[in-house]
Structures are given as C-alpha cells and as structure tokens.
Amino acid sequence: MLKTILSSVFIVCLLVSCMEKSKMNNNIVWQPDNEDGTYKNPVIFADYSDPDVIRVGDDFYMTASSFNCVPGLPILHSKDLVNWKIIGHAIQRFEDERFDLPQHGNGIWAPAIRYHDGWFWIFVGDPDAGILMTKAKNPAGPWEPLHLVQEGKGLIDTCPLWDDDGNAYLVHAWANSRAGINSILTLRRMSPDGKKLLDEGTLVYDGRNGVAPTIEGPKFYKRNGWYYIFAPAGGVREGWQLALRSKNVFGPYEAKRVLEQGGTNINGPHQGGWVELENGENWFVHFQERDAYGRVVHLNPVSWVDDWPLMGIDSDGNGVGEPVSRYKKPDVGKTYPVEVPQTSDDFDSQKLGLQWQWHANPKDNWASLTTKPGWMRLFAVPEPAGFKSLWSVPNLILQKLPAPEFTVTARLDCTGLVEGNKTGMLVMGRSYSYLAVEKTSSGLRLIRKTCRDADRNGREVEEAGEDFASDTLLLRVEVTDDEICHFSYSENGINFKSIGDAFKAREGRWIGAKVGLFCLAGNERQTAGYADFDWFVFE
C-alpha cells in the first residue's frame, strides 16, 4: 500500500514537472504590445537602468547599467522598439579582482551604445576606475575586453560622437561621491579609434546654478547642423529631461526642458536614448524609478519643433512633453511577434540563460548545467569570512523582477545536500527574505528567514521552520503589485502551504530587487553538497 501511495505521489510530481516545463515559452507576465497597433508603458517592466538605444538598419539594440552584476552590460534586440529580447552581454566578468566579492552599486554606470565604422561600440564609466570602452562586430558578441580610455575617479555617464569631419568627441558627467563635483557636463576630444582622450575637457554645461541640479546621463547627437546633448536633471524621481543645443561642438549650449512628469504618474522621467526611424519617426527610450521593481523602461514619441525635440505629448500646451501610458506603435513597416526579455528557465541548455546574473565574478564550481542534464546543479559554497547576511555572498544567481505582480515557482531536489548546507529561493535587496531547505544532523528542515537593512549590517532572523521528509519539493514566491512577497511550498506540486509573514521587497544599491536561487555551506568542510533545480517558472 505504501509503495502504491509513494508511486502515485511520484507520478503526480512528474506530471506537474512536465506541465510546468511545457509552459516555459508561453508565460508572459508583462506584455507591452497590445496587439492592436498600440503599446503600453513600460515597454520593459524590469530594471534596465540608464538605457541607451540605437538603430542599425531595421534592427534596434539597447544596453543598460549593470553595476556589480555579472555578466554585465546586457544587449537587447528589437524590431519595433516595443518587443525586446536579451541577446547577450558585453562583459562576462570583471578583470578587477575586487569584483570577486559583491561591490554593491559599483562597476558599470550608464553606458552609451553606438554603431560606427562597421563596429558596435559601448562607452561606460566606472566611477572608481575611469572611462572604459568595448566594441564588437556582432552585438550578440563576442565583445572585446574593456579598454581603459581615461583613468580617473568620478568619470561617469559617457557618450561619444564621431563628427562628419572625422573628429571624435566624448561627453561625460561627474560623480560627486568620487570627484567632489557634479551637476556639470564636460566635453573632451577623443582619438577616432576611441582608445584615448586628447585633452582635459571643456565645461559645456553648468547646472550648479539651481536651474539644472544633478544634470547627468548625457547622450550626444548631431542633427540638421546642430549638436545636441540630451540629459536628465533634477534627480531620478523628481527630475526632467533637458535638451542642450549649439551650432559649435564646444558651445555655448542653450537649454530647454523637453520632457517632464507633468500630470502623469510617471516620475522622473529619467535618462535614455533617442532614435530616428527610416520613415522619419523619432522615439525616446528612458527609465522610470519604481522602487523595488527597479528602473523600468518607457518609450515615448518625439516631434521636432523649431529644431527642438518635444518628447511625449504636450497635453497642457506649455511646450514641454509628458510621458504617454499608451500610444500607437512605431511604424516599422510590418508587425512583429510579441517578444519579452527571457524569464522562465527549464535548464535544458548547457549554458546559463541570459536572464541570470551573479552578484560577483562567477567561479566554475558554483553551478553546472551538464552534470545532471536538464537540471541546474548549484554547489554549496562556503559563507564568506565574518558572514552576517547574504549581502556579502557572491554566489547568488538572480534575475530582475519582470512585472508588477507575478508568481515564480522552482522545483528542487535536495538529495545532494550534506549536513550544514542550505539552498532555496530568494528575493534580494537592501532587505531580503528567503525560503530554504537546510540539512541538519537529524534530517531536512524548511526555514524562512528575513534580513532587514542588510546593507547596514542587519542580521538574518528566522520567521518560521519545520521538519519534513521529502527530498523533492516546490518553492514559490508570489509578488503583488505593492511589492509584497508571499512565500509557500508544496511537496506534491498541487497543494501549497504558506510559510512565514509577508515580506515587502526593497531595492538594492542602484538596482531593483531580484529573485533567484542560492546554495551555501556553513564552512569549508561542508562544501561537498549540492542542490538540483529542475526549472524556474514565472506565471
């Protein structure tokens, strides 16, 4: 009788696993394409901070800040500016060994992507190192190793311009935390090969007079004989978009406010990139700050009035645009299939899905997709010396929150855990919470832990715990529109039991909250264990 019951439970779990895997490519938790010729904002409800975009022929490419997360500098592709997919990353790891441990908020800040002379280029600032550059023939990669264009502290938010006469320039902003100055934009001559700057720079805009505080994120363009610098000012939440223009590359530049929140609920709106279609349409991609959801991506139409851009719609007639929430799609000549950045993963590939990132440079012994085909094996990695919380742990495998509300479920086989190991599902940020399986001397124990203010040395507190006997179970977190996370689990794949209190997600340092998995050992002697994950499914 017992064998019959166990066999039935196994069959049910197997059927649930197969059904969940079959849904991998069908679940879209946020769809901006209304499939009626219109779209809704955000076009990407995920944390792609400081986006920049270009058009090459009838293809669009986007990159964004990635800070300390690895791989970094994501590359996304679209055919219509509404439907996007991740196609690669420009950097696979940091060469600097300091990124072998989490460097929250450091690393890659506000890149600019350009296509010039048959190459795709990305220029980006690392506030602690200087201005960096990489290039590739294929935007999906491989990309060349990052090249240090200019060493220096506080050099951020870089953007190049190759002029019609063959001269090259680069504009950048400043990080007050490193350089002691901000709210100014500096323009510098650059070698045409993009490898070095040729002068100390010219101050082309000073926002310290209170008119444009915290001006940053400049993007450099030329149109109809005018040089333009598009840059946000006023701060991430309360700010607006400025357009600067001049007939001379070094100025003087006059300024005009071209996009503001106005009467909408779209705060900021903050920095982004401008593209022009073959048919003459103009569009602006930018971000909006959404707390734990991160900096989500919006698309707004652009019209030109007396050689000034007007972004969005001037609904109140004051000459300044406001963001749209719904609008007709860009006219690219045809309709393309609905596509969104990847989320769910069945772990059937031999390579990690492009949606995943680590919190530091990964090591080969952290994970394997080949040891047990069709599963991702996470090896138990020792907690760092002086462990207080997961804030200091590098081997967290995470991805962005993809929608205002969703449910994500993972199937776990914990047979490989040894005493002292723990593995589970995590919502990570300045505060975090997780549901994990812990192997103790007496067996398996399910624990729910939360850490408040992890970025300020907060410690984990256990909210709930219970013993259980099954080696295979489902872990789940449901996120609601108010950033509230509800954790639950199931041993049969049908009935889920809540565990612990609801948790309000918090953003990380310059990034949104993330959801994902981890596997830890308490010390070096406990590293022989591992956990196997069959799939990770969003609904």
Q: Looking at the structure, tell me whether residues 405 and 508 fall in a common domain.
A: yes
Residue 476 lies in a domain: yes
**pLDDT tens-place string over residues 231-282:** 999 999 999 999 999 999 999 999 999 999 999 999 999 999 999 999 999 9
pLDDT confidence of residue 27: 86
21 band by pLDDT with thresholds 50, 70 and 90: low
Residue ending a domain, among 328, 360, 390, is: 328
Contacts of 370 (CB under 8 A, 6+ apart): 350
Q: Looking at the structure, tell me whether residues 455 and 323 fall in a common domain.
A: no
Residue 114 lies in a domain: yes
**Residue 525 pLDDT greater than 90, yes or no:** no
Instruction: Please choose, from the candidates 423, 408, 539, 536, the residue with its C-alpha nearest in 3D space to the C-alpha of residue 477.
Output: 408
Q: Looking at the structure, tell me whether residues 271 and 356 fall in a common domain.
A: no
The answer to whether 204 and 189 have CB atoms below 8 angstroms apart is: no
DSSP, res 290: -
Query: 500 in helix, strand or coil?
Result: coil
pLDDT confidence of residue 469: 86
The answer to whether 202 and 219 have CB atoms below 8 angstroms apart is: no
**Residue 507 pLDDT greater than 70, yes or no:** yes
Q: Looking at the structure, tell me whether residues 400 and 265 fall in a common domain.
A: no
The answer to whether 177 and 127 have CB atoms below 8 angstroms apart is: yes
Indicate the Cα dihedral angle 367, 370, 373, 377, nearest 10°: -10
Residue 508 sits in which domain range?
12-24+343-538
Q: Looking at the structure, tell me whether residues 194 and 316 fall in a common domain.
A: yes
Residue 509 phi, psi dihedral angles, 5° rounding? -90, 105
The answer to whether 423 and 411 have CB atoms below 8 angstroms apart is: no
**pLDDT tens-place string over residues 125-149:** 999 999 999 999 999 999 999 999 9
**pLDDT tens-place string over residues 327-371:** 999 999 999 999 999 999 999 999 999 999 999 999 999 999 999
Residue ending a domain, among 328, 361, 386, is: 328
212 band by pLDDT with thresholds 50, 70 and 90: very high
Alpha carbons 117 and 301: distance in angstroms, whole number: 28
For the chain, the domain total comes to 2
Residue 31 lies in a domain: no
Bridge-partner residues for 124, per DSSP? Answer: 132
Higher pLDDT among residues 351 and 209, named by residue: 351
Residue 3 lies in a domain: no
The answer to whether 302 and 310 have CB atoms below 8 angstroms apart is: yes
Q: Looking at the structure, tell me whether residues 16 and 44 fall in a common domain.
A: no
Q: What is the DSSP string of 78-97?
A: ESSSSSEEEEEEEESS-SSG
Residue 139 lies in a domain: yes
Q: Looking at the structure, tell me whether residues 523 and 417 fall in a common domain.
A: yes
**pLDDT tens-place string over residues 73-105:** 999 999 999 999 999 999 999 999 999 999 999
Beta strands in 81-201 (DSSP E): 84-91, 109-116, 119-126, 130-136, 147-151, 155-162, 168-174, 184-190
pLDDT confidence of residue 6: 35
Residue 1 lies in a domain: no
Alpha carbons 355 and 341: distance in angstroms, whole number: 8
The answer to whether 361 and 104 have CB atoms below 8 angstroms apart is: no
Q: Looking at the structure, tell me whether residues 230 and 353 fall in a common domain.
A: no
Residue 362 phi, psi dihedral angles, 5° rounding? -75, 155
pLDDT confidence of residue 4: 40
**What is the Cβ-side half-sphere exposure of residue 17, based on CA atoms within 13 angstroms?**
21
Residue 230 lies in a domain: yes
Residue 318 lies in a domain: yes
Q: Looking at the structure, tell me whether residues 83 and 159 fall in a common domain.
A: yes
Alpha carbons 202 and 481: distance in angstroms, whole number: 46
**Residue 501 pLDDT greater than 50, yes or no:** yes
Q: Looking at the structure, tell me whether residues 139 and 255 fall in a common domain.
A: yes
Residue ending a domain, among 328, 354, 388, is: 328
pTM to 2 decimals?
Answer: 0.95
Q: Looking at the structure, tell me whether residues 318 and 365 fall in a common domain.
A: no
Residues carrying an active site annotation: 50, 216
Alpha-carbon distance values, 145 to 91, 98, 250, 462 (Å): 7, 17, 31, 43
pLDDT confidence of residue 211: 85
Alpha carbons 48 and 62: distance in angstroms, whole number: 9
Query: 439 in helix, strand or coil?
Result: strand
CATH number of the domain encompassing residue 392: 2.60.120.200
